[in-house]
């Protein structure tokens, strides 16, 4: 039995719980945080095949666990969103796209391999700070 550090409402005595319950609550807090983070940035899509949902769920868990390891080992404070973007950029740097013969005019803008596409709605853009809002969302 272990004291939780919280008093009972009526008697003001310390709340006592078995050690296994305390360990379970600590571990569930970790699982709840992971579920909360993964729900904010879902990769899962509606697929007909169940194995694809399982694959993308596992990939979410791998990326989140990698994020936690990176934070613990490096000691840097980085947001999960920024970590995912950095990870995607590093993965895309190593991808060699095949050389297709293009039809029509060549593109005058930036290369399509560039991760931060200028006029594309696929990637998030950061809102720059202004005098009114120092940290815009």
**Residues 35 and 52 placed together within one structural domain of the fold:** no
91 with 47, same domain: the answer is: yes
Assigned domain for 56 exists = yes
Q: Categorize the per-residue pLDDT at 131 as very low, low, confident or very high, splitting at 50, 70 and 90.
A: confident
Q: Which residue has the higher pLDDT, 12 or 115?
A: 12
**Claim to verify: residue 21 and residue 4 sit in the same structural domain:** yes
Within-domain flag for 53? yes
Q: Write the pLDDT tens digit of every residue in 55-68.
A: 888 888 899 999 99
Residue ranges making up the domain that contains 19: 1-40
At residue 122, does pLDDT exceed 60? no
Number of domains in the chain: 2
Does any domain span residue 126? Answer: no
Three-state SS for the chain is: CEEEEEECCCCCCEEEECHHHHHHHHHHHHHHHHHHHHHHCCCCCCCCCHHHHHHHHHHHHHHHHHHHHHHHHHCCCCCHHHHHHHHHHHHHHCCCCCCCCCCCCCCCCCCCCCCCCCCCCCCCCCCCCCCCCCCCC
């Amino acid at each position: 039995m272990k004291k939780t550090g919280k008093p009972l409402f009526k008697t003001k005595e310390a709340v006592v719980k078995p050690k296994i319950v305390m360990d379970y609550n600590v571990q569930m807090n970790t699982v709840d945080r992971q579920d909360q983070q993964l729900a904010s940035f879902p990769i899962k899509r509606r697929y007909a095949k169940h194995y694809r949902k399982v694959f993308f769920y596992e990939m979410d868990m791998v990326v989140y666990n990698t994020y936690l390891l990176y934070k613990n080992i490096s000691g840097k404070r980085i947001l999960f969103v920024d970590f995912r973007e950095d990870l995607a950029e590093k993965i895309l740097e190593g991808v060699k796209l095949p050389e297709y013969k293009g039809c029509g005019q060549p593109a005058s803008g930036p290369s399509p391999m560039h991760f931060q596409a200028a006029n594309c709605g696929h990637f998030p853009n950061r809102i720059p700070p202004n005098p009114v809002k120092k940290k815009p969302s």
